Amino acid sequence: MTSTSSISVRELPLFPLPEVVLFPGQSLPLHIFEFRYRMMINTVLESDRIFGVVMWNPETNQPSNVGCCAQILQYHRLPDDRFKILTIGQQRFRVLEYVREKPFRVGLVEWIEDQPSDESPFLLATEVRELLDDVVRLSQKLTEQEIELPQIPRSPIELSYWIASNFHGASMEQQALLETQDTTARLRREAEILASTRSQLAARTVLKDTFNET
């Protein structure tokens, strides 16, 4: 993953998305159709191809203060000036203030990183991988369908981002994980979620086996 900049504070065009949380290293395809965001993409393509993705918080009806910048990898300009783009998450940031709101939001942001922890994340990363294996195995048994996983990151921090990005339908939980600045704490929370999911799947598997036997 490349660093977006050695400068710790910069202005960044911002793209609020409802219930979408982007994590570093994860891809995000987008269809850009609103006029103001078409303007934003045109502007971004003329510079460093980087803009910020922030989740629109349905509880506050405001964009979240912490987001992840997206780098445009590929784009296709449609005849009516809409765009289809493929982006990848880079560094996380915190919005310090809004520089302007129109024609699109631009924020003054600072980059944020995980802070060193007294605890080693490697053992926890191993536990998370084992829990994931259990969840996949039980899911396959319930659905009677093969689940093919992509190559899972080995690095604890990259693993924590990958796991969080796959908690589909839980955007508020994903936002909390994005804002966490401790790899071990993020992995610990993910282990709790996966352990709970494993318990629920195991119970459903028992029920399925019971009904199949009768």
Q: What are phi and psi of 193, to 5 degrees?
A: -65, -45
Kindly state the tokens that stand for 159: 């693993």
Residues with Cβ within 8 Å of 8's Cβ and at least 6 positions away in sequence, in order, are 110, 111
Q: Give the global pTM.
A: 0.89
Q: 34 and 105 share a domain?
A: yes
Kindly state the tokens that stand for 166: 């796959």
How large is the average pLDDT for residues 89-103? 96
Question: Does a structural domain hold residue 3?
Answer: no
- Could you tell me which of 195, 137, 178 has the C-alpha nearest to residue 26? 178
What was the pLDDT predicted at 45? 96
Band of the pLDDT at 82, cuts 50, 70, 90?
very high
How large is the average pLDDT for residues 34-61? 93
Kindly state the tokens that stand for 202: 């195991």
Q: 76 and 130 share a domain?
A: no
The CATH number that applies at residue 46 is: 2.30.130.40
pLDDT in tens, 126-148: 999 999 999 999 999 888 888 88
Q: Degrees (nearest 5) of the Cα angle 78, 29, 11?
A: 90
Band of the pLDDT at 213, cuts 50, 70, 90?
low
- Could you tell me which of 146, 143, 102, 128 has the C-alpha nearest to residue 193? 128
DSSP β-ladder status, 9-18 and 50-57: parallel
Residue 120 has pLDDT above 60, yes or no: yes
* Rounded Cα distance, 66 and 49, in Å: 20
- Can you give the residue range of the structural domain that contains 92? 9-112
Q: 17 and 108 share a domain?
A: yes
Q: How many structural domains is the chain composed of? A: 2
What was the pLDDT predicted at 209? 62
Residues with Cβ within 8 Å of 189's Cβ and at least 6 positions away in sequence, in order, are 176, 177, 180
Contacts 24+ apart (CB under 8 A), 40-48: 40/13, 40/15, 40/103, 40/104, 41/72, 41/75, 41/83, 41/85, 43/13, 44/13, 44/72, 45/72, 45/75, 48/4
What was the pLDDT predicted at 2? 43
Q: What are phi and psi of 77, to 5 degrees?
A: -85, 120
* Rounded Cα distance, 50 and 57, in Å: 22
Q: 142 and 171 share a domain?
A: yes
DSSP 144-159: T------PPP-SHHHH
Q: 21 and 86 share a domain?
A: yes
Give, for 69, the enclosing helix (H) or strand (E).
strand 66-77
DSSP β-ladder status, 83-100 and 106-112: antiparallel
Residue that is last in its domain, among 87, 112, 137: 112
Task: Answer whether 106's CB lies under 8 Å from 119's CB.
Answer: no
